[in-house]
Structure 1
Amino acid sequence: MPFLNRIQRWAAERPHDTAVVVAGRRLDWEQLRDQAASVVADTKSVSALCEPNSTDFAVKFAAAVAGGRQCAVLDPAWPAALQDDIVHRVHASARAAAVATDDALEDGPADSPFLIGLTSGTTSVPKAFTRSRRSWQESFEASIEFFGLRRDDVTLAPGPLAASLNLYALAECLYAGSEFQTLKTFDVGDVHAAITHDRVTRLVLVPTMLRMLSERGLTGCVDASGVRTIICAGSKLDARTLEAARRWAPNATIFEYYGASELSFVSGAGLPASRTPSRGGTGIGRPFPGVEVRIIDDAGSPLEDGEPGNICVRSAMVSDGYLWGDDGQALRAFDNDWFTVGDQGYLEAGELHILGRRSDMILTAGKNVYPHEVELALSAVPGVAAAVAAGMPDDLRGQRVVAGVVPSHGGVTAAQLRAGLEDILARDKRPLQFYALAELPVTDRGKVSRSLFLEWISTRDTRVRSLGS
């Protein structure tokens, strides 16, 4: 079961407690149950939900996964042609699935698929995979234990509900009987207001959001002492973001974790309020409850501690595979129940270290360099507020490492960047060219875009300025 039987339970036990709040509009547990139950009969066996953030989203999502139903959640920001293409594919899969449903607001069989997940994309058609109800129940149990979600927590996930991070946070809170909040759109001032006035105790967001909230919160004297949990996903937190978040929310345990939509949670670590952030490391903690991790080469053979390779996972939380878009490489199985999405890393003393996607890897003068590792090192250099690294074509080396930094107050020079990297990054991984950025190149979901950074350089965008080599 994912969460519908739990909604029924909370509505019976605590009917007038708050369940969901979106931009100030509130649904208690009884209202959520009754409104979702009223639309189940009109909800198709396989449907596509394309809605902006609203309480209606929560109602329709609950109805769309009732019984044996399946639901695909589309991003309303995607182009209309892309949305139409996906809806057509979803309807085609509905005809193939022939799912039997009834009109009750209750969970379907544990092993049945309920969610059609879509990898993020803006131009090409996203891959679609399915998740079983049991896999999400296993995920709920693991994340509630790992992150310490409590009934009295108030969770704010200020990003789009169409994004898997926020959709999961909504469903996790419904399962746990804990209040969930979001906004119509991400706005720093609105998040600060919710933290100040709505008793928010728990934040779920991506690193760029945390950086903005922390820095502007410190400048504006926004009190975040009541926040006791911060959960970040999307990329490993750099030292500057951790430092700002620690000062802004002094009582929070700051969690970062590694996972993938197809794999669910893999590994994570929590930085308690009393602990000082480490500088420039790639470690992302130990495996989640119920998860086994090993590193393998491309042939599937296990690698020793410290040897980089494919991160391979065995757990009950892994997805069921793809409905469309499977190229044989995106989710690969080894020994039947071990899976990898091709992310690269290594194990050291039981801790997983993340190097990044193979597709992001820079091959320079015969050496493999992962931009993520370069960015973490640069972000630890004094004078750097944020960083991005990428590979540019090079006639001699194949590719050369280039980096862009958003300077902190006072600015920074190429010489200072080179000096700052000497003790924390191997020589063959250091950038050969540096650029000053007016802002980080990010996607509409707040993730750093290396391709956009390279585009800015090639088009001489005004937001990028060469610092030399």
Structure 2
Amino acid sequence: MPITSRILEVAAADPDRSALVGSPSEAESRAGAEGTHSLTYAQLARDSRTLFAAVDALHSAQTAPPTPAPETRDIPITAVSLTSALETSRIIAGLAGFRAVSATIDPRWPLSHQVGVITTTGIGLVISDSGVLAEALAAAGWTGTVITAAELHACEAAVDPVDTAPPTVREPSEPFLMLFSSGTTSNPKAFIKTRQQYRDNVDVSSAHLEPFPGVATLAPGPVSYSLTLYAVIESLATGGSVHVADDFDPFTMGSRITDEAITRIVAVPAVVKALAEAARRTPARFRGLDLVVTGGANLPASIRSALADVLPDTRLISYYGAAEIGFIGDSRDGDGTWISIYDTIGVDIRDESGARLPDGVIGTVWIRAAACSDGYVTGTTDAQLRRPDGWATVGDQGRIENGLLQLAGRAGDIAITGGHKVSLPEVERAFEEIDRGDRRSGQGRLGEVCAIALPDDSLGSIVALVIEPGSASDGGPGNSGMSDKAALLDRARAKLAPQFVPRRFYLLDQLPRTVGGKIRRHETVDLVMSGKAQRL
């Protein structure tokens, strides 16, 4: 492992087992790939030979190739920036058995972010169908190569298989993937995962998240998401079949689950919410689901409850992890806010000076895990990830009580008001149950909420709650009692400690979100401060 040894093993023992499966519509977009929307293990192993030969030739043909970041140990970097989840997965998996460092770049990132990471990290080959990106890279003086997916297929077809070498299991310390911690709201921070670090991560996830051999896992969404990318890696590393989709289409996913005998889904929380809504319309199509895995630590209770209501026999695991560090723990019961830490992972809560804090006190979460990256790639950030003693942090805040971890958000998710530390995600959780509607009280359905900190001369900051109206058919704030500040205050006072109770409430037609559906807290503050939200 991470995946090459298992790919070769399954290709020999069970060559027709499905490795990668895209949506049926993928066949129309894969010109030059025989119109297929799936690859068996045998096909994946065979095709990787011509894929790497074509990629290697493209790198070698450059007269002044970009210099790869020193963390790659001079291995050329190939980046994939395509909307096709199947094509991206095929390339990443195919290059895994060779001397190559691969990266996925979300084509929906701001153009400046895409150009920035490519030029800064020394990526030499970009597989992209975007002419705009190619022009921007040329204007930036980048000396690498941009090639479309169709052009890559043509290069592969021109390779004589006799002239290729087979994939092999690589050395543990060899760089494997270049990943990015961001790209939507700030400049992306790049980091490298070695093959051993990914093997260590597979050891943890296979022990707790059930990517068993032969299991069909659906991982909808861009492979540039670390959650989706890891679902592809872990499924191939354990001999499973990974079914990918460019996005989550509720009208077709039910039939795919039935037709392709999918029993496990790995998806972001927004997709889990859509899954529950789709299953409510056609529950029979989703009854084969055994397990849903999501990366949403502090998964909203409303999503957990909605899935349990419509699919009571489907288990839900929400894990906590960071792409830089790996899997840390998960929650399976109750409201999902308390995380059981995996037995191979060390967790400490520390203050700004690095001193360990007592149970119950919010501080910075520090992690010790074998899968942790060594640090960020030179030139992409000045932030420190890992200390010399092996402990690392991505800035998450949290507390430990009775051996369980509760997250309080990132540093920007903590408000200091009147000397008290207030977790803004904890404020939001107090309003989650209203999202399902309280018809008996006449309060109706509350839409999505975002707790923010606003500057205050006497307290330093105050807590405010910004509400996105629910749909009219559900009785949103614009047409129900939930637009009443008194009702909102009653709710907050019943659920929260006094310092956590919002002092102001606002309505905003639409909360700003990332491309992955996460609410942007800082942008919400900007909209409120600029007067674009209605104060209740």
TM-score, normalization by structure 2: 0.78
Residue type of the alignment partner of 1:441: P
Residue type of the alignment partner of 2:337: T
Change (3 A) 1:23 1:455: farther
Q: Deviations over 1:320-378 (max 9, x none)?
A: 21113565545142x61211222111111111110110123222233222211111122
Name the CA distance, whole Å, in 1 between partners of 2:123 and 2:213: 40
Name the CA distance, whole Å, in 2 between partners of 1:318 and 1:243: 33
Shift of 1:258: 1.3
Structure 1: gaps spanning 5 or more residues: 95-101, 272-276
Shift of 1:196: 3.7
Matched positions, count: 449
Shift of 1:307: 2.0
The yes-or-no answer on 1:454 pairing with 2:535 is: no
Map of 1:282 onto structure 2: 337
The yes-or-no answer on 1:336 pairing with 2:389 is: yes
Choose the corresponding residue for 2:251, options 166, 176, 189: 189
Change (3 A) 1:57 1:93: closer
Shift of 1:460: 5.6
Map of 1:231 onto structure 2: 293
Q: Flag the structure with higher helix content.
A: 2
Structure 2: gaps spanning 5 or more residues: 25-36, 57-75, 126-163, 439-444
* 3-state SS of 1:173 partner: helix
Q: 373-382 or 261-270, which moves further after superposition? A: 373-382
Shift of 1:193: 3.2
Shift of 1:264: 0.8
Choose the corresponding residue for 1:321, options 375, 383, 403: 375
Superposition pairs of residues 68-467 of structure 1, within 5 angstroms: 68-91=99-122, 103-122=165-184, 124-221=186-283, 223-271=285-333, 277-278=334-335, 282-283=337-338, 285-325=339-379, 327-333=381-387, 336-381=389-434, 382=438, 383-406=445-468, 409-410=474-475, 411=480, 412=482, 413-438=484-509, 440-458=511-529, 465-466=534-535
Map of 2:132 onto structure 1: none
Change (3 A) 1:138 1:49: same
* 3-state SS of 1:402 partner: strand
Shift of 1:133: 0.6
Q: Deviations over 1:173-230 (max 9, x none)?
A: 0111111112123323233332343322111112222122213431454642211111
Q: Do the aligned partners of 2:176 and 2:193 also contact (CA within 8 Å) in 1?
A: yes
Name the CA distance, whole Å, in 2 between partners of 1:251 and 1:57: 33
* 3-state SS of 1:156 partner: strand
Map of 1:55 onto structure 2: 86
Q: 38-47 or 246-255, which moves further after superposition? A: 38-47
Name the CA distance, whole Å, in 2 between partners of 1:152 and 1:190: 23
Shift of 1:129: 0.8
Choose the corresponding residue for 2:39, options 18, 27, 31: 27
Q: Deviations over 1:120-178 (max 9, x none)?
A: 21364311111111111111121111012222422111111011000000010011111
Shift of 1:245: 1.0
Q: Do the aligned partners of 1:331 and 1:342 also contact (CA within 8 Å) in 2?
A: no
Name the CA distance, whole Å, in 2 between partners of 1:56 and 1:387: 36
Residue type of the alignment partner of 1:87: I
Name the CA distance, whole Å, in 2 between partners of 1:222 and 1:432: 45
Shift of 1:72: 1.9
Map of 1:97 onto structure 2: none
Q: Do the aligned partners of 1:53 and 1:182 also contact (CA within 8 Å) in 2?
A: no
Q: 73-82 or 241-250, which moves further after superposition? A: 73-82
Change (3 A) 1:109 1:63: same
Name the CA distance, whole Å, in 1 between partners of 2:515 and 2:300: 20
Shift of 1:456: 4.1
Name the CA distance, whole Å, in 2 between partners of 1:367 and 1:23: 50
Name the CA distance, whole Å, in 2 between partners of 1:373 and 1:59: 40
Change (3 A) 1:332 1:321: closer
Q: Do the aligned partners of 2:413 and 2:423 also contact (CA within 8 Å) in 1?
A: yes
Superposition RMSD in Å:
2.4
* 3-state SS of 2:332 partner: strand
Residue type of the alignment partner of 2:524: F
Name the CA distance, whole Å, in 2 between partners of 1:71 and 1:28: 21
Q: 313-322 or 194-203, which moves further after superposition? A: 194-203
Q: 145-154 or 21-30, which moves further after superposition? A: 145-154
Q: Identity, % of aligned pairs?
A: 30
Q: Do the aligned partners of 1:67 and 1:109 also contact (CA within 8 Å) in 2?
A: no
Q: Flag the structure with higher strand content.
A: 1
TM-score, normalization by structure 1: 0.88
Residue type of the alignment partner of 1:432: R
Q: Deviations over 1:32-76 (max 9, x none)?
A: 111222111233432222222243222211233333321121111
Point out the structure with max Rg over C-alpha: 2
Q: Do the aligned partners of 1:7 and 1:174 also contact (CA within 8 Å) in 2?
A: yes
Q: Deviations over 1:108-131 (max 9, x none)?
A: 111222111112213643111111
Q: Do the aligned partners of 1:2 and 1:133 also contact (CA within 8 Å) in 2?
A: yes
